[in-house]
């Protein structure tokens, strides 16, 4: 399974983001309720926001955004930003029970 890349134009935590890179990990357990299109819609909800870093290492900052709402459903998004890069990496996404 390969990572997939999509063009994007949002700002998150004051950074211009030009690309989404989606890891296919979500497909292992959540392919019945999550698609790349849903993930891209969830990422769009991050536009203009400022989010706390959950974990940080030398290269990446990791984030967890819970209770994202899309079409009346709740989702959790696990994502990252790499230092000095213009992409958002999606580690995992899944639908939450209402």
* Burial class of residue 85 (count of CB atoms within 10 Å of its CB; 0-12, 13-18, 19+): middle
The rounded distance, in Å, linking the Cα atoms of 51 and 65 is 8
Place 24 in a pLDDT band, splitting at 50, 70 and 90. confident
pTM of the model: 0.91
* Cα distance between residue 13 and residue 97, in whole Å: 28
The CATH number of domain 4-96, selected from 3.30.2310, 3.40.50, 1.10.1740, 1.10.3470: 3.30.2310
pLDDT computed for residue 69 by the predictor? 96
Mean pLDDT across the stretch 8-26?
A: 94
DSSP H or E stretch at residue 45: helix 36-45
Supply the pLDDT for residue 96. 87
* pLDDT single digits (tens) 48-77: 999 999 999 999 999 999 999 999 999 999
**Does residue 38 register a pLDDT over 80?**
yes
């Amino acid at each position: 399974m390969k990572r997939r890349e999509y063009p994007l134009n949002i700002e998150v935590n004051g950074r211009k983001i030009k690309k989404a890179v989606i890891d296919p990990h979500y497909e292992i357990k959540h392919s019945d309720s999550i698609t790349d299109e849903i993930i891209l819609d969830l990422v769009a909800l991050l536009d203009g926001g400022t989010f706390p870093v959950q974990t940080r290492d030398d290269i990446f900052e990791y984030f967890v955004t819970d209770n994202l709402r899309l079409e009346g459903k709740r989702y959790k998004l696990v994502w990252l930003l790499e230092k000095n890069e213009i992409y958002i990496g999606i580690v995992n996404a899944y639908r939450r029970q209402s």
